Structure 1
Amino acid sequence: MSILPVRAWRALSARGPRYAWHKVLRRSLGRWPSWKRRLVYADPRHYWTMRGGHDYFREQEGQAARTDRIEWLADRIAAYRPASILEVGCGYGKLLRALRARLDCHLVGVDFSATQLTQARSFLGGLARVDVALASGTRLPFIDGAFDMVVTSAVILHNPPPQAEQIRREILRVARRFAAHNEETSVSYNRYGYDTAAWYRGEGLDLVECGPIPADLEPESSQFCVARLPYDLPDELSTRLG
């Protein structure tokens, strides 16, 4: 038996026919990216609900490069010493867990995938002052300026332009001081490839930092940027960030 049928059978046994069919399409359309985008990724919420769960968790946790990237991102974000953080598209909570190890502030994660959040509640279980909730980045259930910093990690890039714009606007609405983003600029079957830093510059906002992620799998197309909203940076923070 070839590998694909074995995986399909395991997927069918574990999560039913819809998930098994979704996995077959993901694995078999690699040579036809336009069809893969159309058949597999047309609806990002459906994609991540189908893909999320223990299989995705095990896949991600098994890649050392993914952990290296998260550790780097958590170090950079923690340098700003935010009083509270919202992560939009938190997945199973990998970044939130790394941030908790560095910061004592309130951490909140939202995701539109129920399967990702089920895994997050298990992965983050027992950590104090970490909350997760089901919500879309296009309509965040928070008041204006609710969080000191809002973060995304490989989230905006998965959304088509209208939704990507809504997410950016919502982030500006609920963030008080900083918006930090890890996004890819390259295009693939499931990435639209946005220059997030250029978008902030176009909005007339300052970037505290912007550059590639050294630990990323594709550093030539990765981008980490932090936009400063209209609040003054304390002198101590300016010195620490260099």
Structure 2
Amino acid sequence: MSFIIAPAIGLLVFGMASNPKLWKSVTGIIKKTKTERREVDEICWTIGGVIGQALYAPITWVAIALLDGRYYACAATSLPYDVEHPSASYKTCEAVAISKIVYTSSAFNDNRSFSQLLGWIIIAAFLIVGMFVYCLSQCTFPLTYYHAKYYLLYRAAEEAEFTDEMQKKAQHDAEANVLKFMEKRRDKALWDRISTVYDFHRDDKSLALYSNLHEWVLENAQSEEMVPLTGGGGGEEGHPEEGGFNEDDGK
């Protein structure tokens, strides 16, 4: 049975881990501002949906394994081989392993038939329950068909666009910070500072610092009374606002 259960658990965990909704719900949840924290029931509802979506793969695996029948029958039958069959050429376990034709016992065949029946029952039950839950969710959805379709398309497009813009912005800011550091020779102490393992933290204005180099660039910009080269414009006293853009970025 471990051949059936272990892969099913692995598929369930992988399905949950590959769903962005799970990580959006739990990442930084303890550190979120109180106004942006979701209620416990909302988080549980989201995680329940993630688990429901992740069940497709493990249930499919279990159903296929049961339809094959051999795995369950081997686990449920104490003597799966018919050693008393007239045509059987084996009397020991070693002989069974090398035999080209293996005759199974009636108990094995009965358990295999039961396994196949159980597999079809699981498939039918999963389809019925899944269809019912899906229809219920559609009935309670706040948007009608085409409006809901536009909503889903917009969410997907926004996610792709946001990821693309973050990639461009991160590349631009990283290049600016590295160029600032490399514009002249630096002493060993500064090299040691940017080479240490970074633990995420914020500055005295609660703005995120993304690396040791990023922190040094902001400190250097403040000391020189100039606008920082990263993080976007609009911050007070030369500080960037998180995730923003400089007015000159698009020029």
**Higher percent of residues as helix:** 2
Relative contact order (alpha carbons < 8 A, sep ≥ 6): 1 or 2 greater? 1
| TM-score grouping bracket, smaller chain normalisation | under 0.3
Q: What TM-score do you get using the length of structure 1 for normalisation?
A: 0.23
Q: What TM-score do you get using the length of structure 2 for normalisation?
A: 0.22
Max Rg structure: 2
